[in-house]
Amino acid sequence: MEAERFFWFHIPSQTMWGQVFALLLSVIVGGVIGFERERRGQPAGLRTHALVCAGAALIAIVSQGYGNGLAGRIQDSPARVAANVVVGIGFLGAGAIVREGMSIRGLTTAASIWVVAAMGMAIGTSPRLGEVACICFVIVLTTLTLLNRFEQILKLKGRFREMEIGVNPALLRPDRLLKILEERRIGVLSFQLETQKSAQGEPYTQVRLRVRVPDDFDLVAFQHHIVNLDGIVSCTVEA
């Protein structure tokens, strides 16, 4: 059986040893990315990413068998088998996303799970696509490590905050609140209004905002200023 080129090596992809090589490579690729996620305290870490990548590679290998008529001599489209990986990974990725208060964690981890599945499918399909997967692996690992440091240098993460401010609409209209924030050089990126009731049963408007704060933003001073305004029921700012 003709061997296919994988960088400087020739791999007989349709043999058992070629398929074992694909599975081992997928475990390594997924495991390294998973280790980076686990090092940052994410619940979906080394084992999860390694298993997802290896499982996707195995499904790609099986789908190749269907396409070649090896499974019961019935030929089928490999794309039909492999396409179900995308659906399954969608559910798994959703489980990695967690809402904590006003913030949402796990979006990057969900994306990394999705991309390691794609790399696993590429590795399991052919050595040629395995080369592409390895290049993608380097790009993904660079994105997760170097770009995170770049964000810290530019202080991009600290400039965005989530706020929840309770307003008595009879004393302070929400549009006036937005004007007050603008006067303090706080840019409002998005906001949402929701009517709620206080412990005494009085209705008030809960304003949820995503804002961009200046570099010299003082959280304590801001909260002290806001809560002392007439019409403010409560003020919570993501630290």
Return the residue matching tokens 């081992």. 24
DSSP symbols for 157-190: GGGEEEEEEEE-TTTS-HHHHHHHHHHTT-EEEE
Print burial letters for 127-157: b (CB count within 10 Å at least 16), e (below 16).
bebbbebbebbeebbeebeeeeeeeeeeeee
pLDDT score recorded for residue 120: 92
Q: Domains in the chain, ordered, with CATH?
A: 4-154 (no CATH), 158-237 (3.30.70.60)
* pLDDT band of 153, cuts 50, 70, 90: low
pTM of the predicted protein model: 0.65
Alpha carbon distances (Å) from 59 to 68, 86, 122? 14, 11, 11
β-strand pairing of 160-167 with 232-237: antiparallel
Which structure tokens are listed for 28? 């390594």
From CA 231, how far away is CA 229, in angstroms rounded?
Answer: 6
* pLDDT band of 207, cuts 50, 70, 90: confident
pLDDT score recorded for residue 77: 63
